[in-house]
Amino acid sequence: MRTLTVDTRRILYAIAAAIGLFVVGEMAHPGFLSGPSVASILVIASFVGLVAAGQCFVILIGGIDLSVPWVMNAAAILLTTTSLGKNTGAPEAIAAALGMGVAVGVANGIGIALFGIPAVVMTLAANGIVEGLTLGLSGGFTCSSCSSYAPPLIQTLAHGSLLGIPDALWLWAFVTALVSGALAVTRFGRATYALGTNPLAATLAGIDARRMTILLYALCGGFAALGGIMLVGFGGQASLGLGDPYLFTSIAAVVIGGVNILGGRGNYLGVAAGAVSLTVLVSVLLALSMPDYVRSIAYGVVILALLLAYGRENER
Amino acid sequence: MQPDAAALPRGSRLGHAIGQNIGLILAGAILALAVAGFLLVYSIEQHRLPGNFELTSTVNNAIPLVFAAVGQSFVVLTRGIDLSVGGVVDLANALAAVTMGKSLGGALLWSAVILAVGAACGLVNGLLVAFGRLQPIVVTLATLSIYQGLAIRVLPAPGGAIPPAYTNLLVNPNAPWALVYIGLLVLAWAGFRRSRTGVDLYAIGNDEASARALGVNVLRTKIIAYMLDGALAAAAGLFLAASATAGDATTGNSYTLTSIVAVVLGGVSLFGGRGSAAGAIAGAFITTLIVNILFFSHVNPLYQSFYEGVFLIVAVVLGGAIGGAIRRRR
């Protein structure tokens, strides 16, 4: 029960940090807390949140996925080039992009679980492989179909709203419910925590560690691809390096969301709050028209401050 | 669990030595293959063997990564990882371009200051890891962002100047004089490895709890590892600035990931306690040679990272399989 309260407290800290940063933003820049401003910040945060959902799964078992940036980029370019900006081809294009992400994730999982390659090395290599293939096959994003737009359907998903709430937030809320639910009450969730806490004990308890590892990396790849799809819907066209900022941001969101980087502890609700905190932080600094370097330094300092405040390893 | 080499009596059997140094031996084998591959591709392409110019440019291209990788290996040996290497390289590079001016004397003086700044960056990492009880990967993720920000503050746009004499001293374009620095690095490492701190470093990487129980000062040793790492990353930034004869606050970013690749290819275990600086140096040269081989093979540069990724996986899987087989046979 004690672990439960510690974990719950961490989620509450992450949410408090997000709210605190919103308040700071309002003080620094009146109007920051207005409806449209908050909505647009949350939409941006949702992209981080989707990618961080996948990252959360693998970090929960003590892994990490460094292949996120180019899986996102590849998903984005795959979506635009296969749909050519038309709604008719959208379902196939979405399936292709998500399928690619899952396939990369499965490959990561196989390399890690079956071949025993350290997660850092495997996913770093996978990132390079996907990068090389994406750049090579698209001629460095110069192919004739590379300038296609995302299908209107996807653009609407990223920009539209339903009942006054942006579609992207509905999607994120759905994902949040699904991921938190799956982790909290299903066999899958219990197996994930068990594997992250003690792989040997989990295996002895009848959990197929290899299958779970592959499944979790597959989910991570799928979520990265989903993030790429939403991002290209938001931006319209796929651009080179679109996924780059999401590598460190997704890991940071997971960590300040109270998930133990060594695995076994944490919850997606905290991660979602972490994604909001990081996005609000960047928005506050932008609203204050701080130069780039201040943003970069503040980002690091705030992550460290949050970690020192509540992210300590309290195992003895 | 492999016992720490330092804990065993000297002069044990050859088989034992092979088992202990299997990572380094494999790294040497991969390096030999990479050199052979480069010689083959180059001579087919250019109809002659590479000469002084190619050797010099390979060494000069590799040397920043050599220093960054050796720095990374100190931290990896303690079972940590340093993602802030790229930020420290950036900061050192930017500081060098802004401060050095025209005279060699001034440049050398500033080099010492910049190495100290690198060590200070490492000290911050080390203090946060050791006393903050935070995981190295998240600490250095955060400080990466801070050091990158500071680098951009120092040098907002690429520019500045490095005295030509300084360039000639560090990365002489006429002959592979830079090998001298690598030799010094190996000597310094050999001394460090035999020092109390060096032995403690391996002990911590193998089993931190046991090391602590045996009286190893874990906090002090870790902080020293991070400081050495920071100073070496700063040295990488100095070599980079000398090569480019100017500064750029972002060129160092790639060294975070390439230093990890070099360390892994060099047979340093990411799980700590196993590996050496010699391995990291071999890994840095392998990484550099692969790029050269791809270049002379006329591989479409867009596919470059694809081949690098495939190579990394193949090397790690094969290395793991061969190493495992040899350990089992003993």
Measured CA to CA, the distance from residue B149 to residue B136 in angstroms comes to 20
Q: Is domain B52-298 classified as CATH 2.60.120?
A: no
Q: Which residue has the tokens 């990369």?
A: A104
**A262 contacts B135? CB cut-off 8 A:** yes
- Mode of pairing for the β-strands spanning A165-166 and A161-162: antiparallel
Q: Which of B17-26, B34-43, B100-109, B283-292 has the lowest mean pLDDT?
A: B17-26
| Domain encompassing residue A22 | 2-310
- Nearest in space to B252 (alpha carbons), one of B77, B74, B107, B114: B114
Which amino acid, B244? A
Rounded Cα–Cα distance for residues A99 and A218 (Å): 10
In chain A, how many domains are there? 1
Please report the residues numbered 165 through 224 in chain A whose beta carbons come closer than 8 angstroms to any beta carbon of chain B.
Answer: none
Region B88-113: mean pLDDT is 89
A128 and B309 in contact by Cβ < 8 A? Answer: yes
Q: Which of residues 90-129 of B touch A (CB under 8 A)?
A: 128
Predicted confidence (pLDDT) per residue in A241-262, tens digit: 888 889 888 988 998 887 877 8
Task: State whether B303 and A255 contact (CB < 8 Å).
Answer: no
Distances (CA, A) of B154 to A300, B74, B151: 17, 28, 5
Kindly state whether residue A193 falls inside one of the protein's structural domains: yes
The residue ranges of chain A whose pLDDT is under 50 are: 1-2, 313, 315-316
Cα A72 off chain centre by: 10
Q: Is residue A316 part of a domain?
A: no
Rounded Cα distance between B111 and B150, Å, is 18
Distance from CA of B95 to the nearest CA of A (A): 15
Residues in chain A: 316
Closest CA to B306 of A65, A143, A138: A138
Q: Which are the contacts of B10, defined by CB distance < 8 A and separation ≥ 6?
A: none
B270 lies within 8 A of chain A by CB:
yes
| In-domain check, residue A315 | no
Q: How close B47 gets to chain A, by Cα (Å)?
A: 29
* Contact check, Cβ <8 Å, A303/B150: no
**Minimal Cβ distance to B133: which of A140, A295, A312:** A312
pLDDT tens-digit profile of A106-144?
999 999 998 888 898 899 899 989 998 998 888 777 787
- Report yes or no: B252 and B237 within 8 Å, Cβ to Cβ: yes
pLDDT at B183: 93
Query: Tell me, what's the pLDDT at B12?
Result: 57
What's the pLDDT at B29?
Answer: 85
Q: Is B313 on the interface with A (CB under 8 A)?
A: yes
From the CA of B192, how many Å to the nearest CA of chain A? 28
- 3-class DSSP assignment, residue A1: coil
User: What residue ranges do the domains of chain B occupy?
Assistant: 52-298
Residue B257 touches chain A, beta carbons under 8 Å: yes
Decide: helix, strand or coil at residue A267: coil
Candidate from B138, B139, B264 with C-beta closest to A121: B264
Q: Which of B43, B20, B168, B165 is nearest to B104 (CA)?
A: B165
Residues with Cβ within 8 Å of B230's Cβ and at least 6 positions away in sequence, in order, are B71, B88, B118, B119, B120, B121, B122, B123, B125
CA distance A232 to chain B (A): 22
* Residues of B in Cβ contact (< 8 Å) with A130: 309
Query: Does position B6 have pLDDT exceeding 70, yes or no?
Result: no
Q: What is the CATH number of the domain that holds A10?
A: 1.10.3470
- How would DSSP label each residue in B211-251? HHHTT--HHHHHHHHHHHHHHHHHHHHHHHHHHHTSB-TTG
- Please give the pLDDT value at position B240: 92
Any domain includes A190: yes
Is A225 domain-assigned?
Answer: yes
Residue A237 backbone phi and psi in degrees, to 5: -120, 155
Q: Which residues have a Cβ under 8 Å from the Cβ of B89 and sit 6 or more positions away? A: B64, B68, B233, B234, B236, B237, B240, B251, B252, B253, B255
